[in-house]
Amino acid sequence: MKKFILIFTTIISFTQAYGIEIQSEKIEPNPSFIIDASLHTIGQEPKGSWATLVKKYTGSLVTGSIIGALSGGCCAQIEKALGVPFPVILIIWFIFRAMRIELLTAIIRDAQKHKIDHNRSLIFNSAWIADWLTYCYFYRNEIAQIHAE
């Protein structure tokens, strides 16, 4: 049964990744990222490119990781506190994943509205990874017992 749960969580994570890709396609692209090639000459790098790069990726990484860690941690804490059976755990997973995706989508829309540089895929992927890492951290003892068998 424990191996079934491990396989099932893997399948759920892949379906969530597919859902993230579908959800991210609904967001309109930010026109501020369009670069006019005539503004730059060959061999010259635009001024402030490192600062722009760091702002764009650091903000995206931090935002996604915080939301993902909160989602995974809350999900694991509720499951442990209530001691619910497996079908209820699935419902909790879907609720928290849907909430995470909606929250990230709202954050991305606000970033686009206020013309804040961001990387949409990095926000979703860092949230997804942080979610599962935090969730697995709360269940590290149980995971170690599965591997010991």
pLDDT in tens, 24-39: 555 555 555 555 555 5
In contact, 127 and 65? CB cutoff 8 Å = yes
In contact, 27 and 92? CB cutoff 8 Å = no
In contact, 96 and 71? CB cutoff 8 Å = yes
CA 18-28-111 angle, to 5 degrees, is 95
Query: Is the entire prediction scored with pTM above 0.75?
Result: no
Instruction: Name the token pair of 90.
Output: 């699935």
- Total length of the chain: 149
Tell whether 108 is covered by a domain: yes
Tell whether 104 is covered by a domain: yes
pLDDT(45) > 60: no
Tens of pLDDT, residue by residue over 94-108, are 999 999 999 999 999
Tell whether 101 is covered by a domain: yes
Tell whether 13 is covered by a domain: no
Instruction: Name the token pair of 67.
Output: 């939301």
> φ, ψ for residue 28 (rounded to 5)?
-75, 145
Residues ≥6 apart with Cβ < 8 Å to 88: 82
Tell me how many domains the chain contains.
1
**What is the domain range of residue 123?**
50-149
Tell whether 92 is covered by a domain: yes
When the pLDDT of each residue in the chain is averaged and rounded to a whole number, the result is: 78
**Res 102: pLDDT:** 94
Tell whether 56 is covered by a domain: yes
